[in-house]
């Protein structure tokens, strides 16, 4: 399967390398394939192709949104709406607003009863969005190691087939998956990003992950 990763930051690069490691072909999309950071990344990861957002979205059977939430409309426009048609889209992005965190608490530009993923799903009605990977640091996204066992990734989305595919990917990447239902759960999952970042901003702790404990 071919994966188009829209975004070339820490998340884009981490997931591009992880999918490649798992045997997928990857094209990572950016506004500027010539920039220094990307050239360095390419040197270490020669199998990963790099191109524009449109190249990446056209290439992938599976797409990943790894961009700031505030840039979503711009990136969809650059990628071309038609390139999302009929595809599963993993939405890693968070609706973080421009104001700095207060007492370690990030601000979102979405309000109660609203979420970035629902907005994006409305903008891309012919794609199947699945929220995933948004509430863990990029260094933990692939094969995280914890003595307590596998951490939990919370996902949601309206298409069960898409969520099954994302669950298979998460299993291969070393996570257990909790399906939280339809896209209406995205606001709750996106808020986990705020919670996850607080120990980071307050105490510089960035290597934790969530786990859902259940009665045996
Ligand atoms: N960092 C983490 O550990 C982490 C963990 C979980 C979730 N997330 C979420 O994942 C997303 C990506 O995070 P990140 O840390 O990898 O980096 P980021 O700085 O949020 O995103 C970098 C990417 O976004 C693109 N971009 C930025 N502004 C843009 C604009 N106005 N128009 C088009 N493209 C734009 C950059 O393009 P160029 O390549 O052209 O510069 C780059 O490809 C965010 O929504 C973040 O909240 C991050």
What's the start-to-end Cα distance of the chain, in Å?
Answer: 36
* Alpha carbon separation from 17 to 24, 35, 57, 94, 150 (Å, rounded): 10, 18, 17, 21, 20
Give me the number of domains the chain comprises: 1
Does some domain include residue 9?
yes
Query: Averaged over 98-112, what is the pLDDT?
Result: 97
Does some domain include residue 208?
no
Is the CB of 96 inside a 6 Å radius of any atom of ligand 1?
yes
Whether the Cβ atoms of residue 21 and residue 80 lie closer than 8 Å to each other: no
Does some domain include residue 213?
no
Range of the domain at 136: 2-203
pLDDT at site 193:
98
Whether the full predicted model's pTM is greater than 0.85, yes or no, is yes
pLDDT at site 45:
97
HEC states along 193-210?
A: HHHHHHHHHHHCCCCCCC
Does some domain include residue 209?
no
Does some domain include residue 136?
yes
Is the CB of 93 inside a 6 Å radius of any atom of ligand 1?
yes
Does some domain include residue 210?
no
Looking at residue 18, which CATH number applies to its domain? 3.40.50.720
Query: Averaged over 173-177, what is the pLDDT?
Result: 98
Is the CB of 77 inside a 6 Å radius of any atom of ligand 1?
no
69 CA to middle of ligand 1, Å?
8
Angle ∠(157,87,140) on CA atoms, nearest 5? 60
Does some domain include residue 64?
yes
Residue nearest atom 20 of ligand 1, based on CA coordinates: 68
Nearest atom (ligand 1) to Cα of 11? 16
Angle ∠(138,139,143) on CA atoms, nearest 5? 105
Is the CB of 134 inside a 6 Å radius of any atom of ligand 1?
yes
Does some domain include residue 164?
yes
93 CA to middle of ligand 1, Å?
8
Query: Averaged over 54-79, what is the pLDDT?
Result: 98
pLDDT at site 38:
96
Average pLDDT, the chain: 98
Residue with tokens 């209406």: 184
């Amino acid at each position: 399967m071919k994966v188009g990763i829209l975004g070339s930051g820490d998340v884009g690069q981490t997931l591009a390398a992880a999918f490649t490691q798992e045997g997928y072909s990857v094209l990572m999309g950016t506004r500027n394939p010539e920039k220094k950071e990307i050239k360095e990344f390419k040197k270490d990861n020669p199998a990963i192709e790099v191109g524009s957002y449109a190249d990446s979205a056209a290439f992938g059977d599976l797409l990943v949104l790894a961009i700031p939430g505030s840039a979503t409309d711009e990136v969809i426009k650059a990628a071309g709406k038609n390139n999302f048609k009929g595809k599963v889209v993993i939405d890693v992005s968070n609706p973080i607003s421009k104001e700095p965190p207060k007492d370690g608490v990030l601000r979102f530009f979405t309000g109660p009863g609203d979420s970035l993923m629902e907005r994006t799903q409305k903008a891309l009605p012919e794609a199947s969005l699945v929220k995933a990977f948004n509430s863990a640091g990029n260094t933990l996204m692939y094969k995280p190691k914890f003595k307590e066992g596998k951490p939990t990734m919370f996902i949601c989305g309206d298409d069960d087939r898409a969520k099954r595919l994302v669950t298979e990917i998460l299993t291969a990447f070393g996570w257990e998956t909790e399906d939280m239902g339809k896209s209406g759960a995205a606001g709750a999952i996106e808020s986990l990003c705020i919670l996850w970042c607080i120990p980071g901003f307050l105490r510089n702790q960035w290597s934790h992950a969530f786990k859902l404990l259940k009665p045996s």
